[in-house]
Structure 1
Amino acid sequence: MIVWPEYKKLTLEDKIDLLYEHGTFIMAIRYYSYKINLYLLGNFYVEVFVRHKNTIIEKIIPLDMNHTRMKFYSDQIMLPCDMF
């Protein structure tokens, strides 16, 4: 399975293809003008930022466990960082 350093080098289109073929959808949140889909890919989580007004994926980034968005996720599910 791919690791983050290799994944981040891919084009956005290749990231999307790999994510939809091998990733596991976890949940979605609304955050400002985005719908953010959280996926598990191998051993790392990624956030897929979809501009919901025109349904365009703008970026895919690794989940930052220290970001304030974490409260939106942890209110609904238990992520590995919540377990310890």
Structure 2
Amino acid sequence: MSREDFRELPLHKKIHKLYTEGTFVVAIRYYSHKVNLYLLEKEYIEVFYNHKLDKVDNIDFLNQNHTRMKFYLDQIHIRIES
């Protein structure tokens, strides 16, 4: 599945695909969210869960240039492909 196809899925289908076909990697706390990182095929995907509202706010591909990377890299080795 391409990035574009995944992004066009409704939220509930993204969640289902990640939980059934993805591999959970690690969870971090980021402001008001618990962010779960998944590996789906060769792509890292973040799931932003707002525990105060008890809902998933966003699911998107990992931005490797974001400052959140330091939280992941402190815990695991992420394989970055060009």
- TM-score (norm: length of structure 2): 0.93
Letter matched to residue 8 of structure 1: R
TM-superposition CA deviations, 1:10-64 (whole Å, max 9, x none): 0001101111110100000000000000000111010000001232101101000
- TM-score (norm: length of structure 1): 0.90
Partner of 1:19: 18
The answer to whether the Cα contact below 8 Å between 1:35 and 1:49 also exists between their aligned partners in 2 is: yes
Which 5+ residue runs of structure 1 have no aligned equivalent? Answer: none
Letter matched to residue 19 of structure 2: Y
Distance across 2 between alignment mates of 1:49 and 1:13: 13
Which 5+ residue runs of structure 2 have no aligned equivalent? Answer: none
- Aligned pairs for 1:35-46 (under 5 A) are 35-46=34-45
Distance across 2 between alignment mates of 1:31 and 1:47: 11
Partner of 2:3: 4
Distance across 2 between alignment mates of 1:77 and 1:8: 26
Measured on the aligned residues, the alpha-carbon RMSD in Å equals 1.3
Letter matched to residue 45 of structure 1: Y
Identity %: 50
Distance across 1 between alignment mates of 2:24 and 2:51: 17
